[in-house]
Amino acid sequence: MTNPYENLANAIVLSAVEDYRKVLQRWSRHPEKEVYLQDKDSLERFFRSDWFSVLTSVDPELLIRKLCEEVA
């Protein structure tokens, strides 16, 4: 049986990952748009936050690097 709290934590992390992918794609196409850079920075702060480390054991730097490689 799956833990509902674990499911919620995974959903939060996956949502942030999807948001980060989208903003990286948009920022790579429109680097002049400050809003994309702000969104990117905000999500990176979340990935590096204590709250993120409560939700998952994923290494935030590795995650950020791998997601950036997807867009490059």
Is 10 part of any domain? no
Tell me how many domains the chain contains.
Answer: 1
How many H helices and E strands in the chain?
4, 0
Range of the domain at 59: 21-71
State percent of the chain over pLDDT 70. 99
Is 36 part of any domain? yes
Is 60 part of any domain? yes
If phi > 0 it is left, if psi is from -120 to 50 it is alpha, else beta; for residue 33 that is beta
For residue 55, pLDDT beyond 90: yes
Is 58 part of any domain? yes
Q: What is the pTM of this model?
A: 0.91
* pLDDT score of 50: 97
* pLDDT score of 1: 66
- CA diameter of the chain: 48
Is 7 part of any domain? no
What's 11-31 look like in SS3?
Answer: HHHHHHHHHHHHHHHHHHHCC
pLDDT 10s digits, 28-47:
999 999 999 999 999 999 99
